[in-house]
Amino acid sequence: MVGNVNVEAEMKEQKKRRRLKVAHPERCIGCLGCMFACSRTRTGTVSLQNSAIKVQTQGGIEGDFRVVACRGCDDAPCARACPVGALEQRPDGAVVFHKDLCTGCGSCEKACLVGAITMGKDAKPIKCIHCGACVAFCPHDVLRLEEVSA
Amino acid sequence: MLRKVLYIDLSSRESWIEERQDLFEDWMGGTGVGIKLLQEECPAGTDPLSPQAPIILSIGPLNGFFPVATKTVATFKSPLTGELGESYAGGRLSLALRFAGHEAVVIRGRAERPAYISINDADVNVKDATSIWGIDAQTTGVILREHETGVGRRSIIRIGPAGEKLVRFAGVVVDTYRHFGRLGLGAVFGSKMLKALVVSGTEHADVPDARRYREVYSRLYSTIVKTDVMEKYHDIGTSVNINVLNWLKGLPTKNFILSSFSEGEKISGEMFADNYLFRRLSCAGCPIGCVHIAALKSAFSTHHEFELRKVSYDYEPIYSLGSNLGVSTAEGILRLIDVCERMGMDVMSAGVVLSWATEAMERGLITTKETMDIPFQWNNVEGYSRALESIVKPPNEFYSALAMGVDYAAKKYGGREFAMALGKNEVSGYHTGPASIVGQLVGVRHSHLDNAGYSIDQKAAKRSMDPEMMVDEIIKEDNSRGVFNSLVGCLFARGVYTEENIIDALGAVGITKTKDDLQSLGRRIFEEKYKFKIQEGFDLSHAHIPKRFYETVSTLGIVAPETIEEMLRQYKKKRGWGPG
Ligand code: SF4
Ligand code: SF4
Ligand code: SF4
């Protein structure tokens, strides 16, 4: 039931491409542990805005939670939409972000129907890197990190 | 780190922010800062329902930064007891305040007409709430959600009709399933014509050393998810205690006439979990997920037409609206909880008021003339439900008296010896022994959570303790909880926040404290609260203890008045208040 906090460390070791998966959204208890883990790990801040994963409420907490996370598309629309190549899809499928190239136009945000990309306060996209930190801090088995077969 | 107080004056509709670095340095945050602001804002003898009476909301240095630091404390003058009012709520409020950048909010004055306050970061607006005045607390949330920004990161706190009508034990509903339940904050909102407060923020918080912060976070997080609190509060939840206390003869039943309920099995936590539980929720930033939500499906016609209500439950409402009223069905209890939720009143006080009235009717102190033909009878869910709505209206003198709390009603109609309040606050669900009684009597807000006397009694059931040992434990908890409530953490996980861990966590956000600092803070906070209590007329030496406590067998057997006297003598001596 409880996430393995060491996933964070393990992730650094592995090489094969891994992908975050919202495996059981209906199990979400709305703790926001994943969001804090994401901003804490990626940006060293305490923030909801800086998180690449978003847990949204629909009709307050009486309603169901919607867990919005990057799907790690094989043919990634966000990368295709980027006019300057700041979001680049590598041959192994991973989408990498080159901050220095980004003009902050927001095309990527629009291209992703899931809503996985939001623009940060610095007008740059907040994009999931599939590191798995959020998985380690989900207490309710909602999230999973899966290996992507090449 | 942001250490600011937001002041809002409802009369002038003005707001401003003051940096109060010293205040936070000396008093940490949460309840420490809350009591100091109350002393500043609330002169002796202030009418708690006047515009001069303040509402203070405060969070502490760990809120948002660490797991289970999820609470906000409300500090005010209680219209129920006439002295210190203090209540804690979870949900998303502490997080919203953190990200809006306000560690404390002081609300003064009275709005000209019904109003709600909207806080978006530093932007504060007092808005018209006339069209939603009179609407139940749940629907108010639904409506305000439509009008305010910040989906998923905001907090909406609001009152129901009970608060508007100044029921002295009206609460404030926080994000639907959590509450500032106790001591009448809802009535204070109502007296200010304040229907709701919506908070959302977009700030983020930095830490001095991200690596150290992550290290401490991960360590505390894994301790929390590994301790038994996780299992205890997550699985069946607090209501697991219904069976336990029933078996231990500590479950108040039918207004404390009994301490075990023959039909307890039918309202046990296990029964709720197996048949009604459909989901669990967490306060933002807590992995435990203790909030248990039941689905109550009831037919309203014979043609398979149903109403579906989602009702949160816990140990306390199952005691107060269940065993304490002889209600022997989970469904009946859920229905009564739902009425309290919609009206916006404290379930514990409501249950105790009804249980006193039921016994008063049995004894002929009141009749159907006063109750306007509602039969106050054990297990009469329909009657109780109508009675609760009448308390809010109220249609006559009797219901007006009930709306003032049990101590007031019993002074008027008799039966004070079975009006189950200590320090004028209706008691919680434990007849475990002397530590529970003394704990609630001496506690700063007369709550079982001030020092957990009920848990000291349960310890004593395993390994005998003399009165002095019990008093020592009560004092230790009184003080250490003052510190924890300054942070402001959820008491369910207090075991994880040892002094060492608190010092580490504070260090990670840039605050240096020693064990001595923490211990002296705990003592100072307690003393400041008592200063306020005494100023407002609380007198421990003359505090009333209903005789019923001595008549009904408890977990530790019959409690002798002499034991309580001895413990109070010890307590005063150790606090330096008397010769002993
Ligand atoms: S951000 Fe959206 S479009 Fe891009 S890879 Fe993720 S899910 Fe696909
Ligand atoms: S996988 Fe990593 S980057 Fe993606 S949402 Fe989770 S923590 Fe954030
Ligand atoms: S950590 Fe898991 S349970 Fe908590 S909000 Fe995220 S997805 Fe939901």
| Residue for token pair 């909102």 | B189
- CATH 3.30.70.20 residue ranges in chain A? 74-125
pLDDT in tens, B225-260: 888 777 778 889 999 999 999 999 999 999 999 999
Q: From CA B495, how far away is CA B429, in angstroms rounded?
A: 22
- CA of B65: which chain A residue's CA is closest? A46
Q: From CA B524, how far away is CA A85, in angstroms rounded?
A: 60
Model pLDDT, residue A2: 45
pLDDT in tens, B376-398: 999 999 999 999 999 999 999 99
CB contact under 8 A, A31 and B207: no
Model pLDDT, residue A6: 54
B281 DSSP β-pair partners: B291
pLDDT, average across residues A26-34: 94
- Report which ligand 3 atom has the smallest distance to the Cα of A138: 1
* Closest-CA residue to A99 (of A43, A59, A48, A57): A43
Sign of the dihedral through C-alpha B510, B514, B516, B518: positive
Average pLDDT, chain B: 95
CATH of B233-362+377-390, one of 3.30.200.20, 3.40.50.720, 1.10.3720.10, 1.10.569.10: 1.10.569.10
> How is residue B11 written in tokens?
């009369």
A20 lines ligand 2 (CB under 6 A): yes
Q: From CA B422, how far away is CA B252, in angstroms rounded?
A: 15
Q: Where are the domains of chain B?
A: 4-200, 233-362+377-390, 432-494+514-574
Asked if B55 and B189 count as a contact pair (C-beta separation under 8 A), the reply is yes
3-state secondary structure of B486: coil
pLDDT, average across residues A1-7: 48
Predicted confidence band of residue B412 (pLDDT cuts 50, 70, 90): very high
pLDDT, average across residues B511-525: 97
3-state secondary structure of B297: strand
> How is residue B579 written in tokens?
């010769």
CATH 3.40.640.10 fits B4-200, yes or no: no
Model pLDDT, residue A63: 79
| Least confident interval from B233-242, B415-424, B477-486, B571-580 | B571-580
- CA of A57: which chain B residue's CA is closest? B152
Q: From CA B580, how far away is CA B563, in angstroms rounded?
A: 14
| Residue for token pair 């800062």 | B33
- Orientation of helix B453-462 relative to helix B467-484, angle to 10°: 140
Residue B104 has pLDDT above 50, yes or no: yes
Q: From CA B347, how far away is CA B318, in angstroms rounded?
A: 9
> How is residue B430 written in tokens?
């434990």
CB contact under 8 A, B156 and A60: yes
Asked if B34 and B86 count as a contact pair (C-beta separation under 8 A), the reply is yes
Residue B397: how many CB atoms within 10 A of its CB? 10
Q: Please tell me if residue A132 touches chain B, with a CB cutoff of 8 Å.
A: no
Pocket of ligand 1 (CB under 6 A): A 70-73, 76-78, 95, 111-112, 114, 116-117
Asked if B130 and B119 count as a contact pair (C-beta separation under 8 A), the reply is no
pLDDT in tens, B436-473: 999 999 999 999 999 999 999 999 999 989 999 999 99
Question: Dihedral of the CA atoms B418, B419, B424, B427 (nearest 10)?
Answer: 80
- Report which ligand 1 atom has the smallest distance to the Cα of A95: 5
Q: From CA B395, how far away is CA B397, in angstroms rounded?
A: 7
pLDDT in tens, B63-78: 999 999 999 999 999 9
Prediction ipTM score: 0.86
Nearest ligand, CA A146: 2
Tell me which residue in A29, A60, A121 faces B141 most closely, judged by beta carbons.
Answer: A60
Using the CB atoms, write b or e for B461-489: b if 16+ within 10 Å. beeebebebbbbbbbebbbbbbbbbbbbb
Model pLDDT, residue B301: 87
CB contact under 8 A, A30 and B285: no
Q: Higher pLDDT residue, B36 or A13? A: B36
Model pLDDT, residue B579: 66
B313 DSSP β-pair partners: B292
List phi, psi (to 5°) of B192. Answer: -95, 5
pLDDT in tens, B319-374: 999 999 999 999 999 999 999 999 999 999 999 999 999 999 999 999 999 999 99
Q: From CA B329, how far away is CA B267, in angstroms rounded?
A: 6
pLDDT, average across residues B552-564: 97
Q: What's the topology of domain A74-125?
A: Alpha-Beta Plaits (3.30.70)
List phi, psi (to 5°) of B473. Answer: -65, -40
Could you say which architecture CATH assigns to the domain B432-494+514-574?
A: Orthogonal Bundle (1.10)
Q: From CA A108, how far away is CA A124, in angstroms rounded?
A: 10
Model pLDDT, residue B3: 86
- Orientation of helix B499-508 relative to helix B210-226, angle to 10°: 150
Q: From CA B422, how far away is CA B442, in angstroms rounded?
A: 9
pLDDT in tens, B189-233: 999 999 999 999 988 888 999 999 999 999 999 999 888 777 778
CB contact under 8 A, B207 and A33: no
Q: Please tell me if residue A41 touches chain B, with a CB cutoff of 8 Å.
A: yes
Q: What's the topology of domain A16-69+128-145?
A: Alpha-Beta Plaits (3.30.70)
Give the ranges where B50-102 is alpha helix by DSSP (H).
93-100
A47: which chain B residues are within 8 Å (Cβ-Cβ)? Answer: 99, 204-205
Q: Please tell me if residue A133 touches chain B, with a CB cutoff of 8 Å.
A: no
Q: From CA B248, how far away is CA A43, in angstroms rounded?
A: 51
Q: From CA B251, how far away is CA B188, in angstroms rounded?
A: 32
Sign of the dihedral through C-alpha B276, B277, B278, B283: positive
